[in-house]
């Protein structure tokens, strides 16, 4: 009988352990390239945590300029205090659709597939509640039940994130040859704490200061540096999200580390990209028409590492392209 | 039992393929203590083309399905085999069955504690939500396990089943390896000293099944091992019986679910109450992403590991049974069924001279409430679902009421009304066809002319404005006991919107029975339809021709 009991126990144990959980089903599709560690600084450049605010906005959203104004002022304030707030403006929602010719206003399409994924899928079933709303490092601010926050709380949420210790130092080198249309992004993640989890890298492409149409709200809602309550033709759209360089919409990004990683570990992930290829990629409306030319100084790359289990952004850096 | 088949021939067939060995006199004595049982079945059809209803003669003109089961038992030892031949498989039968051979064969030894089977076997854990291997020869379903089964009864009231092997796939095996264990505890038996007189009997059970399959894929990281578990409780108290079973399956991307990695789950609950003259049953189930196959790229009924019990009444009248039956939707379904049976004794109100039985049955099935996630490039969960809640889309709805009464010594009848709604766009995959609403009335009349002569008739009518429109069917069966049986059937699609499709489908059949032997010959038109067993269906194409069936049991 003991033998039978042992047999039964063995079968139960062996069978129960025969079960594979797959969290990240897609094989790596971004073609990684090797780069030398020497292109990065020798020392830790991120002594504090930076904070990313993903603001959801729309060109036909009258209150949105008021939100953008809050972010512009916050970024200046934090910069003065030696802190770096990275703002990403994602055009998404019902107040974004462009007009069509012969109309001459609101012709730009700023929406991209990755923005749609962020708004409607990533945090599902917590969908974008409306614009302007934002994710502050994708964490939940006290008093909220989900990560979507409104402009009055962005400063408070950012303060809480700035107060957290930095756990990973990020350095990015971004180059782009506009004639050959070849670019390279290299990001080094330098873990400064012992950590356990699945950490992914994402790289966004931003375009700054696009001068175009925007509806502005009335006093107390809109941005009073522009005419209030009007359609403005010379509004400067700041840090506009044009798509994801590191992955297709909905992709997790590039896996940096899975499981335990010890303090001092440096992991470099680099990949090439081409604006034409991104533009032609049917699944990513990354550079929708009409698209202003790739102008030096107007584009930047935002790289961040996040915890896959919680979506929390652990560190973010922004860098302009070095043109060759 | 009197045998009409030659046992010596059968024994020779049993030994077919086994190397000749010398058997001692003592061994011969042991063998002579054994018993041999079995059965043979042959079905063949000669096809004729009739383009009026899309019946076509295949190139080989005649098809043949045949099998023979042979079972040898001697004390605790049992061995058996089944020879099968599909030359070629009858139209409508899974065409993967092609050729002949002995795929099903086994040897089993059992005593009070241990039960070991090597080779082929059938088994079921609980309701089958995560494991059921079974055989339906008429349907062409056989997912027999090929491997080892070890069942143990280590203690009174405790039963453990273990299985390890491959699922059958036609004349081969599915690629995946299936491993499973099921434990069941009969609480009353376990604590018989204190529970023996208890009025409530409680049985607890739990199962775990894992399949292994080569995970190689060009773009996806597939789970090599997929596990599923279930737990169940069965409480029996007097005339009441309650069974609840819950099952869960981890990520199992397959062609069934478009390779999403969402976990699956199922909940099944059934309650029944029966006492003299009254019966009540009700059941409900919730299924989400629970197709479980030992080959992730297989479809239809191939390589299934589990079974989703159907919660609809299995109609036998052909209009209701074959035009719009319901097939379980393992990708997502919320279904329930309730049935009430009331018997009135003879002499009571409505009871008449011999009593009367009333049966009311209602079943319905909905889809689940899902939201697409469009995350194919991320976690590939595919969708989110409101657990244990029905969605807005109705799949099936069936209300039926039946009166069954014996009026005189010679005459009895069954009257049936069926209101049946079937979303054939989902259930039968007929895109653009929408939902069919039908009213079906059936009168089954049985008149016994004498002790040996009996006439049974079915008058069926289906009224509908949808799909193929209304139908009428007449069935007449005349039997002369104990040998002869004659039947004639005609189905008429008189309500078809297309005049050229308002066709008759006549079919006649005669059968002769001698003890356990039966031979029948049929001729006529068989319309296209669905053949369902236990909620699993397959399409049967239209055909015309001469059919012959022979069967023998010994």
Residues from chain B contacting residue A25 (CB–CB below 8 Å):
220-222, 251, 253, 261, 379-380
B156 to chain A, closest Cα gap in Å:
13
Residues from chain B contacting residue A124 (CB–CB below 8 Å):
371, 373, 384
* Interface pTM, i.e. ipTM: 0.79
Q: What is the pLDDT of residue B13?
A: 42
Q: Phi and psi (nearest 5°) for B17?
A: 90, -10
Q: What percent of chain A has pLDDT over 90?
A: 47
Instruction: Note whether A125 contacts B226, CB cutoff 8 Å.
Output: no
Q: What is the pLDDT of residue A322?
A: 67
Contact partners, residue A160, CB within 8 Å, separation at least 6: A139, A141, A142
Instruction: Note whether A4 contacts B154, CB cutoff 8 Å.
Output: yes
Q: Would you give per-residue pLDDT tens digits along chain B (554 residues)?
A: 344 444 444 444 444 434 344 455 666 676 678 999 999 999 999 999 999 998 999 999 999 999 999 999 999 999 999 999 999 999 989 888 989 999 999 999 999 899 999 999 999 999 999 999 999 988 889 999 999 999 999 888 999 999 999 999 999 999 999 999 999 999 988 887 555 567 889 999 999 999 999 988 766 889 999 999 999 999 999 999 999 999 999 999 998 888 899 999 999 999 999 998 999 999 999 999 999 999 998 888 899 999 988 899 999 999 999 999 998 898 999 999 999 999 999 888 888 889 999 999 999 999 999 988 867 767 788 899 999 999 999 999 999 999 999 999 999 999 999 999 999 988 887 877 889 999 999 999 999 999 999 999 999 999 999 999 999 999 999 999 999 999 999 999 999 999 999 999 999 999 999 999 999 999 999 998 887 777 777 788 899 999 999 999 99
Alpha carbons B141 and B438: distance in angstroms, whole number: 29
- In this complex, the residue of B220, B225, B253 whose CB is nearest that of residue A19 is B225
Measured in Å, how far apart are chain B's first and last C-alpha atoms?
8
A144-172, pLDDT tens digit by residue? 888 889 999 999 999 999 999 999 999 99
| 3-class secondary structure, B344 | strand
Mean pLDDT for A276-284 is 54
Instruction: Note whether B374 contacts A18, CB cutoff 8 Å.
Output: no
User: Considering only alpha carbons, which residue of chain A is nearest residue B377?
Assistant: A251
Mutate to test the interface with B, among A10, A11, A247 (most CBs of B within 10 A): A11
Alpha carbons B510 and B487: distance in angstroms, whole number: 6
Q: What percent of chain A has pLDDT over 70?
A: 82
Find residues 35-74 of chain B whose CB sits inside 8 Å of chain A: none
Least confident among A30-34, A265-269, B433-437, B512-516: A30-34
Rg (C-alpha) for chain A, rounded Å, is 22
Of residues B250, B254, B298, B177, the one with CA closest to residue A22: B250
A286 to chain B, closest Cα gap in Å:
16
Cα dist from A257 to A162, A245, A262, B379, B380, whole Å: 23, 19, 10, 17, 20
Mutate to test the interface with A, among B259, B373, B378, B386 (most CBs of A within 10 A): B378
Higher pLDDT, A112 or B293: B293
Contact partners, residue B13, CB within 8 Å, separation at least 6: B68, B70, B83
Instruction: Note whether B221 contacts A27, CB cutoff 8 Å.
Output: yes
Q: Phi and psi (nearest 5°) for A30?
A: -75, 125
Cα dist from B172 to A296, B96, B98, B212, B302, whole Å: 65, 10, 11, 17, 12
A102 to chain B, closest Cα gap in Å:
34
User: Considering only alpha carbons, which residue of chain A is nearest residue B161?
Assistant: A8
Alpha carbons A187 and A202: distance in angstroms, whole number: 10
Token pair of B501, please?
């499709």
Instruction: Note whether A23 contacts B379, CB cutoff 8 Å.
Output: yes
Q: What is the pLDDT of residue B348?
A: 83
- Predicted model pTM: 0.70
């Amino acid at each position: 009988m003991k033998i039978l009991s042992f047999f039964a126990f063995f079968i139960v144990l062996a069978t129960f352990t025969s079960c594979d959980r797959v969290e990240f089903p897609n094989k790596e599709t971004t073609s990684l390239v090797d780069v030398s560690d020497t292109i990065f600084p020798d020392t830790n450049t991120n002594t504090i945590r930076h904070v990313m605010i993903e603001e959801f906005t729309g060109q036909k959203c009258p209150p949105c300029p008021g939100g953008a104004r809050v972010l512009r002022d916050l970024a200046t304030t934090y910069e003065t205090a030696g802190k770096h707030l990275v703002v990403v403006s994602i055009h998404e929602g019902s107040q974004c659709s462009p007009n069509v010719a012969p109309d001459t206003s609101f012709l730009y399409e700023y929406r991209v597939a990755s923005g749609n994924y962020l708004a409607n899928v990533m945090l599902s079933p917590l969908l974008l509640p409306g614009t302007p709303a934002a994710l502050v490092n994708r964490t939940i601010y006290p008093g909220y039940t989900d990560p979507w926050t409104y402009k009055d709380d962005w400063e408070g949420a950012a303060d809480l994130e700035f107060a957290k210790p930095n756990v990973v130092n990020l350095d990015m080198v971004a180059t782009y040859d506009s004639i050959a249309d070849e670019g390279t992004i290299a990001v080094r993640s330098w873990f400064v704490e012992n950590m356990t989890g699945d950490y992914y890298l994402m790289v966004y492409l931003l375009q700054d200061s696009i001068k175009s149409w925007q509806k502005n709200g009335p006093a107390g809602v809109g941005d009073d540096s522009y005419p209030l309550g009007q359609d403005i033709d010379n509004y400067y759209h700041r840090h506009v999200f044009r798509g994801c360089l590191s992955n297709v919409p909905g992709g997790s990004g590039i896996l940096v580390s899975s499981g335990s990683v010890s303090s001092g570990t440096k992991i470099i992930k680099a990949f090439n990209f081409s604006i034409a290829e991104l533009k032609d990629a049917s699944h990513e409306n990354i550079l929708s028409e009409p698209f202003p030319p790739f102008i030096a100084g107007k584009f930047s790359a935002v790289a961040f590492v996040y915890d896959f289990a919680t979506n929390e952004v652990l560190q973010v850096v922004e860098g302009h392209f070095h043109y060759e | 039992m009197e045998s009409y088949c030659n046992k010596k021939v059968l024994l020779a067939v049993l030994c077919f393929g086994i190397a000749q060995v010398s058997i001692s006199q003592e061994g011969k004595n042991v063998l002579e203590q054994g018993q041999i049982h079995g059965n043979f079945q042959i079905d063949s059809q000669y096809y004729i083309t009739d383009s009026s209803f899309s019946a076509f003669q295949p190139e080989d003109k005649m098809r043949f399905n045949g099998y023979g089961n042979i079972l040898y038992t001697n004390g605790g030892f049992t061995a058996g085999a089944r020879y099968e031949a599909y030359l070629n498989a009858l139209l409508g039968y899974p065409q993967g069955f092609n050729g002949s051979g002995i795929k099903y064969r086994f040897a089993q030894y059992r005593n009070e504690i241990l039960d070991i089977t090597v080779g082929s076997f059938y088994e079921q854990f609980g309701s089958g939500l995560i494991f059921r291997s079974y055989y339906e020869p008429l349907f062409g379903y056989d997912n027999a396990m090929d491997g080892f089964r070890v069942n143990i009864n280590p203690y009174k009231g405790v039963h453990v089943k273990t299985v390890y092997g491959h699922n059958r796939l036609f004349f081969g095996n599915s690629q995946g390896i299936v491993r499973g264990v099921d434990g069941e505890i009969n609480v009353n038996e376990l604590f018989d000293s204190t529970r023996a007189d208890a009025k409530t009997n409680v049985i607890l059970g739990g199962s775990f099944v894992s399949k292994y399959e080569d995970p190689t894929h060009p773009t996806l990281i597939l789970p090599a091992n997929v596990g599923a578990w279930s737990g169940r409780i069965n409480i029996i108290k007097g005339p009441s019986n309650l069974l609840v079973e819950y099952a869960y399956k981890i990520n199992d991307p397959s062609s069934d679910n478009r390779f999403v990695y969402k976990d699956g789950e199922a909940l099944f609950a059934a309650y029944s109450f029966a006492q003299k003259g009254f019966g009540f049953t009700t059941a409900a189930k919730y299924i989400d992403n629970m197709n479980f196959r030992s080959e992730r790229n297989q479809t239809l009924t191939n390589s299934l590991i589990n079974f989703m019990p159907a919660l609809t009444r299995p109609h036998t009248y052909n209009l209701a049974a074959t035009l719009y039956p319901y097939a379980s939707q393992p990708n997502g379904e919320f279904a329930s069924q309730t049935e009430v049976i009331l018997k009135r004794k003879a002499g009571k109100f409505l009871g008449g001279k011999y009593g009367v039985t009333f049966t009311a049955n209602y079943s319905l099935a909905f889809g689940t409430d899902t939201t697409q996630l469009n995350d194919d490039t991320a976690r590939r969960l595919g969708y989110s679902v409101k657990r244990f809640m029905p969605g807005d889309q109705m799949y099936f709805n069936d209300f039926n009421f039946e009166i069954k009464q014996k009026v005189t010594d010679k005459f009895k009848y069954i009257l049936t009304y069926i209101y049946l709604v079937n979303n054939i766009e989902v259930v039968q995959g007929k895109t653009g066809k929408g939902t069919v609403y039908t009213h079906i009335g059936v009168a089954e009349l049985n008149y016994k002319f004498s002790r040996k002569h009996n006439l049974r008739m079915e008058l069926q009518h289906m009224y509908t404005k949808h799909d193929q429109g209304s139908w009428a069917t007449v069935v007449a069966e005349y039997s002369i006991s104990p040998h002869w049986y004659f039947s004639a059937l005609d189905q008429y699609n008189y309500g078809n919107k297309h005049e050229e499709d308002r066709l008759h489908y006549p079919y006649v059949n005669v059968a002769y029975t001698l003890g356990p032997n039966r031979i029948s010959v049929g001729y006529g038109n068989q319309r296209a339809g669905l053949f369902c067993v236990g909620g699993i269906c397959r399409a049967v194409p239209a055909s015309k021709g001469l059919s012959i069936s022979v069967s023998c049991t010994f």
